[in-house]
Amino acid sequence: MTSNPQTIAILGGTGDLGTGLARRWAKAGHKVIIGSRTTEKAEAAAADLVDFGVIGLENLAAAAAADIVAITVPYANQLGTLEASRAGLEGKILIDATVPLMPPKVGTVQLPEGGSAAVNAQKALGEGVIVVSAFQNVAADKLKSSADLECDVLVAGDKVAARQTVIDLVEDAGMRGWHVGPLANSAAAEAMTSLIIQVNRRYGIDGAGIRITGTPTKDGRHVPK
């Protein structure tokens, strides 16, 4: 159980990634709100997690009610969802799991103009919101399962304290999180998803992930920017 319970809203949280995070965070002791474009859709997704205390609200209402917000929508819906929820995001950390996959060539890296989806989110929202990039390289169906996850999470953001907050939430979800520097470095994690798709296809792996090897000799909570 977490020693620092938060209220977390997951915008566009009705898919496997969103509901997987919702289940794991709620089991860790956080209050979780699933957001969607409509209250009805959000409530339907939350109904499967009612035993964990998860509720469903429209995206803006979910963001406004939360301490920390995550977004788990397809790339095409990212900026529109953030714009519609902007009033509820001010002064908060936004965990952006967006991957700029552009069908049909999802196995080819196609980063957006601006550098990365997370960087574009920060530009759109302004300095009043702290965007932190995470969870791009986790198989959503595995996250939704109750199995242990053999996967690490790369966490990029311009504020060290905000990155650490997200790393704590990564650990609450059953994974290891790693500081990987400023938000601009989110481009590497976003691009890596296409590489993982290629690995899955070529080798028949069911949801490959990444692992950082080696033994840390420093406390990640006190790493420099």
Burial, 124: exposed, middle or buried (Cβ in 10 Å; 0-12, 13-18, 19+)?
Answer: middle
Tell me the domain boundaries of the chain: 7-216
- Which residues pair with residue 130 across a beta bridge? 93
CA-CA distance, 135 to 155, in Å (whole number)? 8
Task: For 111-150, write each residue's pLDDT tens digit.
Answer: 999 999 999 999 999 999 999 999 999 999 999 888 889 8
| Paired tokens of 53 | 């205390």
Fold of the domain spanning 7-216: Rossmann fold (3.40.50)
CA-CA distance, 150 to 106, in Å (whole number)? 23
- Indicate whether 170 pLDDT > 80: yes
Task: For 177-221, write each residue's pLDDT tens digit.
Answer: 999 999 999 999 999 999 999 999 999 999 999 999 999 998 877
Q: Answer positive or negative: Cα dihedral of 184, 118, 178, 205.
A: negative
pLDDT at residue number 223: 60
Task: For 64-92, write each residue's pLDDT tens digit.
Answer: 999 999 999 999 999 999 999 999 999 99
Whole-model pTM: value is 0.96
pLDDT at residue number 222: 66
